């Protein structure tokens, strides 16, 4: 049986969700003039007028209710019921699943409005028969992805090319969902945010890659000596580089990888790239990789960058091992790793395939978390699996 949502007000902590009224028109029109709302909700008219807001209140929202969905305004009772945003549930699909959508006014952000309201509306939907509520966020919309995770939604993957853009292109959407049987526990990334948004030792600064870095990254990766050490050894497609830069936030929130620009702390110039990838919480291991533009070499930048990233990872995650791979003849990279506390661990024969079909060896390095020695000698035991009958 498909859920049917009543025209109820929904308490949401210090806020209240209730059906929109014509008193909300001016505030809706003012909020929907925000470029970020227009960017991530392509169906919104641009420019957005009071007439568009009135159409939403008098036609679009009532149609949602009529077809089995719900359309509610989130308001602030402490401010006389001031409108703060719109939240909706789409009519259930043929499988009985519904989708939550929302927008929050620019002046109401960073107050927890979206998270509190999304959680309250989701739980209200479950109370009225919904089994699964989905939340879709643009690949570049990391604030919305954070809302989903904080409201107890689990990330399920990426829908490629699912959202039409105003210019005729299509964007990817990140899929989140909650089931009525889920505990609703806030989801946290294995990779926490950088303190203050960056890591710096005063000489270099590491910050997440953004689309503004795409041209500098592309130029660096096209330098012949950088290209020769890349896997695979070919310059990336510029469109792929731009796409990767849009993925930085969602990869980070998913706990999959950290993609960082290495900057000259004095000038802010993009000097290189460093990444923490192949993050495996079960093994407590990740891999580090890096490249530095030629004109910044010889200044110790990459050694500093590797140290900063490793120290952050060991301090703020449970990683125990960070590994790196180099060509056996890449002496400059060997020096970087040694200075950053890495040791040679293994040689993998013919691991890396080249464009000409030949395969090259990979020399693996490792840096491990420093563990304080135990005060009890008896605690030092060899590992062996337990079998039935062990005591």
Question: Which CATH number belongs to the domain containing residue 257 in this structure?
Answer: 3.40.630.30
| pLDDT for the residue numbered 199 | 98
Residues 6 or more apart whose CB falls under 8 angstroms from that of 183 comprise: 152
Q: Does the residue 228 lie in any domain?
A: yes
Q: 379: which 2 tokens? A: 């605690």
Q: Does the residue 391 lie in any domain?
A: no
| pLDDT for the residue numbered 371 | 57
Task: Answer yes or no: do 218 and 84 share one domain.
Answer: no
Task: Answer yes or no: do 349 and 276 share one domain.
Answer: yes
Q: Does the residue 389 lie in any domain?
A: no
Q: 324: which 2 tokens? A: 């790196």
pLDDT tens-digit map of 138-155: 999 999 999 999 999 999
Query: Using 50, 70 and 90 to split pLDDT, how confident is the model at 174?
Result: very high
Distance CA 88, CA 98 (A): 10
Q: Does the residue 248 lie in any domain?
A: yes
Task: Answer yes or no: do 174 and 295 share one domain.
Answer: no
Other C-beta atoms closer than 10 Å to the C-beta of 146 total 18
Task: Answer yes or no: do 223 and 305 share one domain.
Answer: yes
Q: Does the residue 167 lie in any domain?
A: yes
pLDDT tens-digit map of 226-242: 877 887 777 889 999 99
The structure's pTM equals 0.89
- Percentage of the chain exceeding pLDDT 90: 84
| pLDDT for the residue numbered 233 | 76
Structural domain boundaries enclosing 84:
10-179
3-state class of 13 per DSSP? coil
Task: Answer yes or no: do 237 and 324 share one domain.
Answer: yes
Task: Answer yes or no: do 220 and 140 share one domain.
Answer: no
Task: Answer yes or no: do 208 and 163 share one domain.
Answer: no
Distance CA 167, CA 61 (A): 26
Residues 6 or more apart whose CB falls under 8 angstroms from that of 334 comprise: 326, 363, 365
Q: Does the residue 388 lie in any domain?
A: no
The number of folded domains in the chain is 2
As a whole number, the mean pLDDT across the chain is: 92
| pLDDT for the residue numbered 200 | 98
Task: Answer yes or no: do 206 and 146 share one domain.
Answer: no
Instruction: Say if residues 46 and 165 touch (Cβ distance below 8 Å).
Output: no
Sign of the Cα torsion 21, 22, 23, 25 reads positive
Residues 6 or more apart whose CB falls under 8 angstroms from that of 357 comprise: none
| pLDDT for the residue numbered 383 | 43
Q: Does the residue 378 lie in any domain?
A: no
Higher pLDDT among residues 382 and 9, named by residue? 9
Question: Which of these ranges, 327-331, 353-357, 373-377, has the smallest mean pLDDT?
Answer: 373-377
Task: Answer yes or no: do 236 and 168 share one domain.
Answer: no
Does residue 249 carry a pLDDT above 80? yes
Does residue 119 carry a pLDDT above 70? yes
Q: Does the residue 159 lie in any domain?
A: yes
Task: Answer yes or no: do 239 and 299 share one domain.
Answer: yes
Distance CA 183, CA 153 (A): 10
Task: Answer yes or no: do 132 and 213 share one domain.
Answer: no
Task: Answer yes or no: do 155 and 39 share one domain.
Answer: yes
């Amino acid at each position: 049986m498909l859920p049917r949502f009543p025209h109820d007000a929904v308490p949401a902590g210090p806020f209240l969700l209730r059906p929109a009224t014509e008193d909300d028109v001016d505030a809706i029109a003012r909020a929907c003039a925000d470029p970020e709302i227009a960017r991530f909700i392509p169906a919104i008219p641009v420019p957005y007028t009071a007439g568009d807001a009135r159409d939403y209140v008098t036609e679009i929202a009532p149609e949602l209710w009529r077809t089995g969905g719900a359309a509610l305004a989130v308001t602030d009772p402490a401010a006389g019921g001031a409108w703060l945003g719109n939240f909706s549930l789409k009519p259930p699909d043929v499988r009985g699943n519904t989708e939550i959508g929302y927008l929050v006014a620019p002046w109401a952000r960073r107050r927890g409005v979206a998270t509190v309201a999304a959680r309250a509306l989701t739980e209200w939907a479950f109370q009225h028969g919904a089994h699964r509520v989905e939340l879709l966020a643009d690949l570049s919309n990391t604030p919305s992805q954070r809302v989903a995770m904080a409201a107890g939604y689990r990330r399920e993957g990426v829908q490629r090319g699912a959202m039409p853009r105003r210019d005729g292109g299509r964007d990817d959407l990140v899929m989140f969902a909650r089931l009525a049987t889920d505990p609703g526990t806030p989801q946290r990334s294995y990779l926490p945010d950088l303190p203050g948004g960056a890591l710096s030792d005063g000489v270099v600064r590491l910050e997440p890659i953004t689309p503004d870095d795409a041209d500098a990254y592309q130029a660096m990766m096209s330098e012949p000596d950088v290209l020769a050490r890349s896997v695979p050894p070919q310059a990336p497609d510029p469109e792929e580089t731009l796409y990767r830069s849009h993925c930085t936030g969602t990869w980070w929130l998913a706990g999959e990888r950290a993609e960082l620009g290495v900057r000259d702390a004095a000038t802010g110039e993009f000097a290189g790239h460093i990444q923490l990838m192949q993050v495996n919480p079960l093994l407590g291991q990740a891999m580090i990789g890096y490249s530095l533009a030629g004109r910044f070499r010889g200044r110790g930048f990459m050694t500093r960058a590797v140290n900063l990233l490793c120290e952050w990872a060991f301090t703020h995650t449970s990683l125990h091992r960070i590994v790196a791979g180099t060509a056996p003849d890449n002496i400059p990279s060997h020096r970087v790793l040694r200075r950053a506390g890495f040791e040679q661990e293994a040689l993998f024969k013919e691991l890396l395939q080249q464009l000409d079909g030949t395969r090259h060896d990979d020399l693996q390095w490792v840096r491990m978390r420093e563990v304080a020695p135990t005060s009890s000698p008896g605690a030092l035991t060899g590992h062996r699996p337990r079998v039935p009958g062990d005591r």
